[in-house]
Amino acid sequence: RPLLRLVCGKFLGDFNGFVNMCVEHIRSPLDNAKTKVDHIYTGPNTSKIYDDMINCDQEGLLMVHSSKMYPTEDCTFFQVLGRVMSGTLHAGTDVRILGENYTLQDEEDSRG
């Protein structure tokens, strides 16, 4: 709750009602991880990646569920709005984007 208040305060000013609503009605990322991963992840549920994601393991493999990609004006790279499912992401880290049709057998649907 203190971190949520700090972040919302920086962006939204005094927004106690919004913070209280989030705390009371939105499940924590860890409590909701298995449901979210089962809904979006198509890989095997016996893999290390799966375990890292359902445990929100910050030391695990980096996996980010991207919601929206915004190209820069010169279209040389994207800024991505996403949720870190596992691992740790730092500003400036280069990542490979795997599209919806990506498979290990056919890496055509990836951007790095």
* pTM (predicted TM-score): 0.69
The mean pLDDT value for 10-33 works out to: 80
- Contact (CB, 8 A) for 39 and 25: no
pLDDT tens per residue, range 39-82: 988 888 999 999 999 999 999 999 998 888 888 899 888 888 88
Q: Domain 41-111 classified CATH 3.30.420.480? A: no
Shortest CA distance to 26 belongs to which of 41, 4, 10, 6? 4
Q: Which two tokens stand for residue 14?
A: 């005094």
What is d(CA 15, CA 34) in angstroms, rounded to the nearest whole number?
Answer: 30
Domain ranges of the chain: 41-111
pLDDT over 70 at 28, yes or no: yes
